[in-house]
Structure 1
Amino acid sequence: MFFLRMTAILVLFAFSCAKKKEIYYCPMHTSYTSDRPGTCPICNMDLVKKEDHSERSKDPSTLLRTEADGKMESKNGMESEIHHASPSNDRSSEFFLSSEKQQSIGIRTELVSRRSLVKKMSLYSSVAYDPELYSALLEYKQAIQSSGLLPESSSSLGIGNLQLRLRQLGLSTEQIRVWSSGQRDPSELIVGGKNGRAHIYSQVYESELSIAKPGLNIQFKTDVYPDKEFGGKIKSIDNIVDKNSRTLRLRSEVSDPGHLLKPQMFGETMIEISLPGLLTIPTSAILDTGVRKIVYVQTNPNSFRAVTVKIGKSVDTWSEVLSGLEEGQSVVSESTFLVDSEAKIRFGNNAHNH
């Protein structure tokens, strides 16, 4: 009798050990798991039971795959959804999300399309006070005037060095010619504008250097005259980046017929730049892994695939796509992190390599 009881206990113990332990996880924080239903202690989302697809696929006697309609049909005629993408060029990189699951995590999509955007920049600025450039221009003008009295070799060498200094201080070749020919008075740089003009210095980040170009229209505003705007154009941009602020100095000229703007007066320069016909997606669709930028493409109503993209300019809520996507594709624009969590459940640490 004792032997029978011990045998029964051992059988029950072996059965309980062999039974697969259920695991529940948080869709937002996939690193948190539990052995029972509940909520995530981080975000309070309901935990989701993790299904073991590998066990299901190892038992062909239980479910039969029907490729025609993307369903698994059991022997008793009952159907259940398979968690694989429908056939495509790269089926292994796709994963399945039912419409109910998409609705529960709040997935929204947006088409990749061409848009005309307007980039607005606001730059910290001041009315120019530049004694260094003033002195360099005076030396250059004096060198030119004296060049006829000096031997050709030494005069050309000295003028060339002074030209290089002016270029380092941010003047273009055309501006050097204008300032040195008498068309402009260098004293404007230290006592204020003349002939209805004022010089404005602004700081522009190096990341925006591809957008801010000489010739663009600007508007300068100062709190001293809150109801006035001084319109003008960008004339040049310095050649050397400030290693601490990662900015360059941008030089502009604005109209000031009343000579209201005084040297070192602070203000703000506004620039609007039209960017027509950019291939764009919502910035919210981009997931930056630190190594690459990922976007999830919807390949069919219930399938998604991670794609590596190269991003260009960003304007408000839109970002330019340089490569990785084509016009007309549909990308996940909301709940991108939740979709990424589902991909990690499907592919593990290799989710972004597909």
Structure 2
Amino acid sequence: MLNKQFITGLCLITVMMVACKQKPDPAPASDPAKEMEELLGKVITDTASTNAVKDEILVSGKIVPDEDSQIRIYPMVSGIVRKVNVHSGWYVKAGQTLAELVSSEMAAFSNELASAEASLANARRDLSLKQDLFSSGLASEKDVEEAKSEYKRASSEVHKAEQVLQINGGDREAGYRITTPINGFVIEKRVTEHSHLRPDNSDPVFVIADISNVWAMVNIFESDISYIHQGDSVHLTSLSYPGKVFRGDIEKIYQVLDPETKTMRARINIHNPDLLLKPEMFVSAKVKVVQQHSRVSIPVRSLIFDNNRYYVVVREGNTARIQPVEVAEKMSGRAYISEGLHENDVVISGRQLYFYEALKQ
């Protein structure tokens, strides 16, 4: 039995020794050109195209109210301010009373209304009397018609006096109310209690502005004037809201240079529904402009930066080569090339670093 087990173990060891001495078959030699061709068939590429050069010009300025949504309020009569109901920065609604005055002119208007109402009451009584006398045969039809005419005239005078009092914002107690015709914020207040106001004052007593739409007045440097045009799109930012971008358009360019700053002003219209932008707030703006000349451009992701230079990997059929390029500018995800590429050149935009390193060796 022992001899049988020994013989079996010896056979196994012999088989293992023979297997260890056998060498594996050599792997087939790789073909770099074929591998490159296969990889080129799978990569992402982009074609260089000629486009008008887009650029961003930086300008700065401040927020001002839209003048079309701003009201300057002047007193229509003279008087002494009895009460001021609002202050600068307050939000007011159309029809709200801003200040109340005591006015001798309003007293005169109120007296005219009272006199007209008294005349109307007399005319009403006289008409009623003439109609009764006419029914009794004691008055003529002509007397009744004259009484009717007097009643109409007196009624017209009352209506006129009421309108004068209403137009001037007064009441029967010789008071005058300064009201706002629009919703908005009080951005200027130049009146205090006990002030004496006159209708010929040159300054408004209140300025009310609806800031749901505002303007940004920005300054354009003389060197940038030729690039900026009416209608250009603008992105604005403010220190008050980091990371938030407001969008607007250049609505008007004022064709006059400031003699001191040598800048030209432009007006940007901005929709401001959340009322975030306030008058006098400083803003920075990027004006998106399209220049007159064109350049070959490619996506920025296609660029490779190495040794202080830009390169791209250009695909030519089943081969590729490294091409140094000069980048004139970058804008909106595209690189505008001044030298090194031609229109319709195909550049690798995915795994280009792999090809760049492989082609360098």
TM-score scaled by length of structure 2: 0.35
Structure number with higher strand proportion: 2
TM score, norm. by length of structure 1: 0.36
